[in-house]
């Protein structure tokens, strides 16, 4: 949700933002609807005031005057009911259309329709050169008996898996390494709900837009009966729950910035991606993620400094794991409705012979906090909407694609990165047994 006062002052900027982001939003049409709503609101308020004024004077009126006043009030009641209904319909349309309005991206954001317009900013590390024919993570995991996709599919359908033995231990080791890294920096750890009501998916900006990617919880009363939908949804990222944590609250500026990291299971339907990146652990329905969420002052300079901080946290974990990666600026057509600035971290995946997206970092200004009602009192006592940022510090098992493939040996074993050995009981290799 955006600042409507700003929209009214410079509608062309928002129309241009919608064009650059590839959004079908009629800004002029919204402004006409906005003006109609305000006119109807004024009219309804005037009619209500007139009705109240007449009703207060009726008891002191004489008989004939009272009859005329009562007749006038009945007519006014009818007209008021009609205008209130018209106002309600207008406000419903106004509210729905408002949710479609985009934020304005930073001037530095590359303009484009698809990932081909993304711009690389920097790289770290060199992709490995193997003296043997490397295997992909599925072949490695199957041979070592640490990944079992067929049995995962048997239990939960396509894009499901089991991590087994040292595979599950490696997955947990990466999560624990990342948590320790953030906790040493005094981040606040939250273990959030993995179910959320629709208002929080809307508040965090996922609705409208991501409905087809989201699992809605349903209830079957008896076998054979239709599924009755609940109001709860499985989260695709703990960003949803963490942003809801302070919904409808007013913080003090002295509390900011709030630095939260959420560890949670995440669920995504991956609708519309059939045949695309479906091999192995890249696009799956269930995974675990450590998400960083920040609330800060409404100061773009301070927010962008925090953006560098949270992306840097993720980079430091990758560097500790010695996994080569690159950072790219995401173009306007790929960044989404609410984002002001967005970068992805792509980690090298030998089987793909390219970098694959493993992390995402976003700055949303006050887009989410306006929807969720998250404010703070500044030093002068004035209430302002906070700004929000988020970043994937690690997501597993996708990161296992890079780790297993990069750390493989000619005999099919996996060398455990030095930084993970303490979390693996000092173990140095994963081997077949």
DSSP string for 87-143:
HHHHHHHHHHHHTTPPPPPPTTSPP-SSGGG-EEEEEES-----SS-PPPHHHHHHH
Place of tokens 């989260």: 235
Length of the chain: 433
Q: Where are the beta strands (DSSP E) in 312-430?
A: 325-329, 341-349, 354-363, 375-377, 383-385, 387-396, 414-415, 429-430
> 3-class DSSP state for residue 185?
coil
Place of tokens 């790289």: 123
DSSP string for 50-101:
HHHHHHHHGGGS-HHHHHHHHHHHHHHHHHHHHHHHHHHHHHHHHHHHHTTP
Closest CA to 354 of 115, 186, 141: 115
Active site residues: 268, 283, 357, 360, 398
Residues 347 and 366: their CA atoms lie apart, in Å, by 30
Closest CA to 201 of 231, 169, 157: 231
Q: Copy the structure tokens of residue 188.
A: 């606040």
Q: 3-state DSSP: the chain helix, strand, coil percent, rounded to 5? A: 45, 20, 35
Which H or E run includes 15?
A: helix 11-20
Residues 19 and 37: their CA atoms lie apart, in Å, by 25
Q: Could you tell me how far CA 372 lies from the centroid of its own chain?
A: 13
User: Sheet of 188-190: strands edge to edge?
Assistant: 119-124, 325-329, 341-349, 354-363, 387-396, 286-296, 258-267, 188-190
Residues 30 and 316: their CA atoms lie apart, in Å, by 44
Which H or E run includes 251?
A: strand 250-252
């Amino acid at each position: 949700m955006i600042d409507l006062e700003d929209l009214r002052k410079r509608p062309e900027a928002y129309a241009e933002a919608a064009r650059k982001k590839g959004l079908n939003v009629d800004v002029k049409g919204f402004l006409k609807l906005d003006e109609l709503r305000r006119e109807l609101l004024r009219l309804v308020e005037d009619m209500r005031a007139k009705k109240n004024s007449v009703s207060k004077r009726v008891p002191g009126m004489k008989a004939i005057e009272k009859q005329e006043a009562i007749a006038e009030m009945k007519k006014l009641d009818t007209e008021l009911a009609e205008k209130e209904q018209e106002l309600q319909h207008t406000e419903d349309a106004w509210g729905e259309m408002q949710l479609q309005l985009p934020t304005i991206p930073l001037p530095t954001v590359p303009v484009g329709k698809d990932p081909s317009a993304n711009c690389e900013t920097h790289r770290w590390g060199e992709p490995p050169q193997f003296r043997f024919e490397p295997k992909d993570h599925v072949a490695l995991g199957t041979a070592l008996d640490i990944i079992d996709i067929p049995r995962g599919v048997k239990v939960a359908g396509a894009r499901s898996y089991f991590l087994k033995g040292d595979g599950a231990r490696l997955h947990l080791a990466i999560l624990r390494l990342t948590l320790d890294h953030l906790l040493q920096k005094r981040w606040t750890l939250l273990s959030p709900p993995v179910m959320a009501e629709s208002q929080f998916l809307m508040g965090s900006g996922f609705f409208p837009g991501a409905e087809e990617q989201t699992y809605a919880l349903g209830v079957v009363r008896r076998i054979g009966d239709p599924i009755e939908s609940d109001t709860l949804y499985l989260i695709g990222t703990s960003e949803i729950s963490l942003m809801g944590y302070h919904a409808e609250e007013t913080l003090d500026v002295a509390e900011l910035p709030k630095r939260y990291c959420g560890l949670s299971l995440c669920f995504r339907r991956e609708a519309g991606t059939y045949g695309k990146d479906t091999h192995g652990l890249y696009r799956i329905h269930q995974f675990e993620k450590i998400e960083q969420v920040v609330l800060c002052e409404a100061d773009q300079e301070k927010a962008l400094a925090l953006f560098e901080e949270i992306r840097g946290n993720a980079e430091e974990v990758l560097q500790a794991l010695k996994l080569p990666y690159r950072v790219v600026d995401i173009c306007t057509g790929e960044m989404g409705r609410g984002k002001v600035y967005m970068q992805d971290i792509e980690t090298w995946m030998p089987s793909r012979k390219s970098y694959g997206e493993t992390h995402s970092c976003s700055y949303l200004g006050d887009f989410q906090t306006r929807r969720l009602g998250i404010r703070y009192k500044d030093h002068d006592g004035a209430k302002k909407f906070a700004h929000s940022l988020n970043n994937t510090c690690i997501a597993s098992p996708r990161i296992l694609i890079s780790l297993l493939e990069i750390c493989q040996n000619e005999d099919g074993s996996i060398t455990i990165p030095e930084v993970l050995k303490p979390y693996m009981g000092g173990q140095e290799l994963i081997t077949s047994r």
